[in-house]
Structures are given as C-alpha cells and as structure tokens.
C-alpha cells in the first residue's frame, strides 16, 4: 500500500518517540531514520525510503525539523547525495545499492566524482582514462582533475574508456572506485584563492571488481547523463534564505556603510538584489519539480544564471568597498571541506566566483544544452560523432 501524508507523519513521530533526538547520538539517529524509510521517502523500502510520492518528503522533514532532529550535513556529502545516489538507484545492481546508499546518506562515507580530465573537461566524452578487463576485475589507468572532496572521499563515481575502437560516446563504462585502493593518488590542486578545494587524481592500475560496474559495459555515457542532470539540479536548486547567498554580504555592507554609497552603485545593487531574489524563488520551483520527479533541463539554466549572477555581485562588492575590497584575509594553503562564500572577505568571494562558470559543467556546455533540449535548435556540427575514439586527433 502506498504511504500517504498521515502515514508518513505517524512513522516520523514513531521514530522520534523511539529515538529522541536530544538523547540519541547523531549517527544512531540518522541510521534509524534511514532504516525507517524517512531518509528519502520516494526511494524503495530497504533503501532509505517507502516507495511513497516524492512530495511527502516535506511532511517528514517538517516533523523532524520541529523536533530538532539532526540533519545529515548535505553540503559536506553533496556529491554523494546529489550525484552518486540517484545514479546508483537508477542504474546500480541490488548489491551495489544496498551496500552504498545507507552510509552515503548518513554521511559516514564521503563521495567524489572522477569525471573531468586534463584533455576532456567540457567535452567529457573525450576522456582518455582506460579500463581494461582482467578476469573478474577492471584495471583502470589515467588522470582526473578538478575533483572536489577527493582528499576526503572513500568512494568515487568514475567514467572510463573500455573500448577505444568505438566512437567516443559509445566506448565508455561507469564504475564505483574505492579511493583507498592501491594505485589511487590524490594531489591538491591549489586555486586562484590560495586554497586547495579541488584535487588531481592519478589512477595507476587501480583494480575495480566488475560487481562495482554501474550499468552495462559501453553504457557509461548514458549512466553519466543521469549523474550530470542531477548535478545541475543539485547546484541550481540549492536552498537559501532571503539574502542568504552572495547578495547577503554586499547588502549588509550597503546598509552599514552609508559613506560608500553612490547613485550608480545603488542602481546596480537594486538590480542584482532583485535577480538574486528571483533566482532564490526559481530554485524553490526547481526543487518542487524535482520532488515531483521532473528535474528537466531547468537545472542547467539555473546553474548558468547563478554563475553569472555571483560574478556580478562579487564584482560590485569589491567596487563598493574600494581599496578595502582588494584586501585578502589569508593566502595560507588550506584544504577546506566546504566553500565558505559568506564567511570570508570580499576579495575571496570575487576570486572564488570565477570558478562558478567552470565547475559542474561550463557555461558554454550549458548554453548548448539549453539551445538543443529547451529551445529545440539544431545541434552543433560534429565531425567526430562516428569516428573511433582512437582515430581522433588529440
């Protein structure tokens, strides 16, 4: 029988009664929540859900929030929740989903995404990392780049080339890679901001069991598209309170520092404030579509818009502060778990926002997606579509 709102409410209150948040260790509570099917109610029973309609998640969340229940720190484990979990659910075997989803949701195991490569970032299908079958395993060799959380991750979703004799989109296969296995080397990638939030990952003969293959051999591009679609929705649909994003610090400065104001800056701030609020409300609509099981290409449009908006806001803040805006708080090499947009200086926000138009799919790629899948325009001419990857000029 499909659960309804009353059933979800009853189950949530039963969880709170047997595991009072104030007296239950955080991880124990999260494990109990997963086992009760209240982690993501639309997932199947046994995998953190109840097979219920997605919108009913809000019923459980409201009850849990009112009771002061702990959350599962979604920002720290955002790649696992936003990209790995829906991909594993859609394409993984029963063994894979039962092994990985519980520790992923609870946050016991952090995930990263081994997709981008030095010679294949925007054109992901051109990747060169190879996976060669060896008995019941695959041997993977190659290099990945711009990998968030690789220095924290236990597991990674990985796309590798398994048949270079096929055109580039057809010879790919999707795997789960153990980041603690021999042959995996993670090196910090120091950024413009001075910190190393991203990594390079070198894979040398890494042995991956075939049971950790996701989808059929050669179906890696189809599986990866599931990941990418969910990635853009996860980025574009991030929940924020009013003035909770990049617009917050500059709005506060405007209110607290009247000596910095000019008419021209006032006009620009007004426009950006309205756009930030429109983006916040549009993100809410995006989440509602996701809850209804209709993520669509709107996530790409929102991700594209937010990248430009953040860069405009951070530039305005530097201008508003004048020479003070050029100061930088700390160039010390650090490896943060999270991007701290609002806790650092204006100079940090200005530099870090430059990456918004690259990470999670470049703005140029997103423009193509919108043109082809939303507007229905003809695809760009591609002369590499039917040529074996090994014969392509590189």
pLDDT single digits (tens) 379-394: 877 777 789 999 988 7
**Location of each CATH 1.20.140.10 domain in the chain:** 224-375
Rounded to whole angstroms, the Cα distance separating 177 from 30 reads 25
Rounded to whole angstroms, the Cα distance separating 13 from 5 reads 12
3-state class (DSSP) for residue 188 = strand
Rounded to whole angstroms, the Cα distance separating 297 from 302 reads 9
Q: Per-residue confidence at 130, pLDDT binned at 50, 70, 90?
A: very high
**Which of the two residues, 121 and 17, has the higher pLDDT score?**
17
**Location of each CATH 2.40.110.10 domain in the chain:** 81-218
What is the DSSP code (8-state) at residue 363?
H
Q: What pLDDT is stored for residue 348 in this prediction?
A: 92
φ, ψ of residue 375 to 5 degrees: the values are -90, -15
Q: What pLDDT is stored for residue 19 in this prediction?
A: 97
Rounded to whole angstroms, the Cα distance separating 312 from 306 reads 10
Contact status, residue 347 vs residue 328, Cβ threshold 8 Å: yes
pLDDT digits (tens, 9 = 90+) for 268-303: 999 999 999 999 998 888 777 766 666 666 777 888
Q: Per-residue confidence at 232, pLDDT binned at 50, 70, 90?
A: confident
What does pLDDT average to over the chain?
91
Which H or E run contains 134? strand 130-134
**What would the mean pLDDT of 110-127 be, rounded to a whole number?**
89
Max mean pLDDT among 72-76, 186-190, 299-303, 323-327 falls in 186-190
Give yes or no for residue 317 having a pLDDT over 60: yes
Q: What pLDDT is stored for residue 275 in this prediction?
A: 96
Q: What are the helix (H) ranges across 241-297?
A: 247-256, 263-291
* Active-site residue set: 231
224-375 is a CATH 3.30.110.40 domain: no
Of the candidates 353, 97, 77, 100, the one whose C-alpha atom is nearest the C-alpha of residue 234 is 77
**Which of the two residues, 263 and 292, has the higher pLDDT score?**
263
Give yes or no for residue 338 having a pLDDT over 60: yes
What is the DSSP code (8-state) at residue 246?
T
Query: What angle in degrees, to the nearest 10, is found between the helix axes of 346-353 and 247-256?
Result: 150
Give yes or no for residue 106 having a pLDDT over 80: yes
Q: What pLDDT is stored for residue 288 in this prediction?
A: 73
Q: Is the pTM of this model over 0.85?
A: yes
Q: Which CATH class is domain 81-218?
A: mainly beta
Contact status, residue 139 vs residue 206, Cβ threshold 8 Å: yes
Q: What pLDDT is stored for residue 340 in this prediction?
A: 79
Instruction: Kindly report the number of other CB atoms within 10 A of residue 369's CB atom.
Output: 19
Which H or E run contains 316? helix 298-321
Give yes or no for residue 315 having a pLDDT over 80: yes
């Amino acid at each position: 029988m499909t659960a309804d709102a009353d059933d979800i409410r009853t189950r949530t209150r039963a969880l709170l009664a047997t595991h009072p948040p104030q007296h239950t260790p955080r991880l124990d509570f999260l494990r109990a929540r997963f086992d009760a099917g209240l982690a993501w109610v639309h997932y199947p029973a046994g995998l953190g859900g109840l097979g219920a309609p997605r919108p009913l998640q809000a019923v459980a969340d409201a009850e849990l929030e009112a009771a002061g229940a702990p959350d599962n720190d979604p920002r720290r484990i955002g790649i696992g929740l936003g990209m790995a979990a829906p991909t594993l659910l859609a394409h993984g075997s029963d063994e894979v989903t039962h092994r990985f989803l519980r520790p992923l949701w609870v946050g016991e195991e952090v995930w990263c995404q081994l997709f981008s490569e030095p010679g294949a970032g925007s054109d992901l299908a051109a990747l060169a990392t190879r996976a060669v079958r060896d008995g019941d395993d695959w041997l993977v060799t190659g290099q990945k780049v711009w990998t968030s959380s690789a220095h924290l991750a236990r597991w990674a979703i990985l796309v590798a080339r398994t048949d270079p004799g096929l055109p580039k989109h057809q010879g790919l296969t999707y795997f789960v890679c153990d980041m603690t296995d021999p042959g995996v080397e993670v090196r910090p990638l120091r950024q413009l901001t001075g910190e190393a939030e991203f990594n390079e990952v070198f894979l040398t003969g890494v042995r991956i069991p075939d049971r950790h293959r996701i989808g059929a051999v050669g179906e890696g591009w189809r599986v990866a598209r599931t990941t990418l679609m969910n990635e853009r929705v996860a980025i574009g649909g991030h929940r924020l309170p009013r003035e909770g994003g990049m617009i917050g610090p500059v709005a506060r400065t405007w209110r607290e520092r009247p000596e910095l104001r000019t008419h021209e800056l006032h006009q620009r701030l007004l426009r950006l404030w309205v756009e930030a609020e429109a983006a916040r409300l549009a993100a809410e609509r995006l989440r509602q579509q996701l809850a209804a099981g209709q993520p669509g290409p709107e996530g790409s449009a929102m991700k594209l818009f937010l990248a430009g908006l953040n860069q405009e806001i951070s530039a305005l803040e530097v201008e508003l502060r004048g020479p003070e805006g050029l100061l930088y708080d700390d160039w010390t090499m650090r490896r943060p778990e999270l991007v701290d947009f609002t806790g650092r200086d204006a100079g940090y926000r200005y530099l870090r926002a430059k990456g918004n138009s690259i990470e999670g799919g470049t703005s140029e790629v997103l423009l193509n997606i919108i043109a082809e899948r939303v507007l229905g325009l003809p695809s760009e001419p591609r002369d590499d579509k039917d040529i074996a990857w090994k014969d392509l000029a590189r």
